[in-house]
Amino acid sequence: MPSQPSFLSDFSRDAAITPRGVTLSAPATRRLSKQCCAIYERLQKGPATNSELSQIALSYTRRLSDLREHDIAVECYQRDDTTGLNWYRLT
């Protein structure tokens, strides 16, 4: 006896739900996480070390990448190989 397809077979979890006739741009569909916002706010006050940023988010490098994906310019402008400290700032 052939099996019938599930009623969920056409369901796509990755499909974005938007109102009919509306197309959203990629930046509009993605929002910054709370950790990204916290790191951004910290960097607005001035340069910060990787030690400071890791207190906000353990995966602070991923959060910095998220900021860069949103066209926020963040640079690592100083590295100290003896202590392992890196300094980040907004440009």
Are the beta carbons of 56 and 42 closer than 8 angstroms?
yes
pLDDT band at 66 (very low <50, low <70, confident <90, very high): very high
Of 87 and 14, which is predicted with more confidence? Answer: 87
Residue 23 has pLDDT above 80, yes or no: no
CA torsion sign for 26, 69, 73, 33 is positive
Mean local confidence (pLDDT), 1-22: 56
Task: Supply the pLDDT for residue 24.
Answer: 46
